[in-house]
């Protein structure tokens, strides 16, 4: 089961901004350098979509909303999990969360979302 989830956005003035995270301590596991690598990985293609990477003993899959909104949803996995197994669900939840942010109805229940990522 995934270990955590965070939403971040690129800000031209300040760089990466973490908007929300679950659990609160998850940001301690991911360095600013890793967050920038996630950003750069998506900026290479500049296309909306999913990417994944094992980095510094961190395993994650991330969704990028595209250059118009610059939101990133990052699902932190344990090192043994296969990121490919989570791509489809991540896209589904990302669209849902990003729509909630845009319409200012943003009150995600991260614990429930993470439990829904549990593979059968």
List the CATH number of the domain containing 61: 3.30.450
pLDDT at 98 over 80: no
Range of the domain at 38: 4-116
Cα angle: 84, vertex 71, 62; to 5 degrees: 15
- More confidently predicted of 29 and 117: 29
Q: Give pLDDT tens digits for 22-63.
A: 887 877 778 888 888 888 888 877 788 899 888 767 788 999
pLDDT at 114 over 70: no
Domain count, the chain: 1
pLDDT at 97 over 50: yes
Helix (H) or strand (E) run with residue 89 in it: helix 87-102
- Give the global pTM: 0.80
Q: What is the pLDDT of residue 24?
A: 78
**Separation between Cα atoms, residue 78 and residue 82, nearest integer Å:** 9
């Amino acid at each position: 089961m995934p270990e955590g989830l965070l939403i971040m956005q690129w800000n031209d003035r300040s760089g990466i901004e973490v908007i929300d995270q679950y659990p609160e301590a998850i940001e301690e596991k991911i360095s600013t350098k890793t967050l920038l690598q996630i950003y750069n990985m998506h900026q290479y293609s500049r296309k909306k979509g999913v990417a994944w990477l094992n980095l510094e003993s961190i395993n994650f899959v991330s969704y990028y909303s595209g250059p118009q909104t610059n939101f990133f949803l990052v699902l932190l996995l344990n090192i043994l999990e296969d990121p490919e197994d989570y791509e489809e669900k991540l896209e589904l939840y990302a669209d849902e969360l990003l729509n909630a942010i845009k319409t200012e109805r943003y009150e995600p229940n991260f614990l429930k979302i993470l439990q829904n990522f549990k593979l059968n």
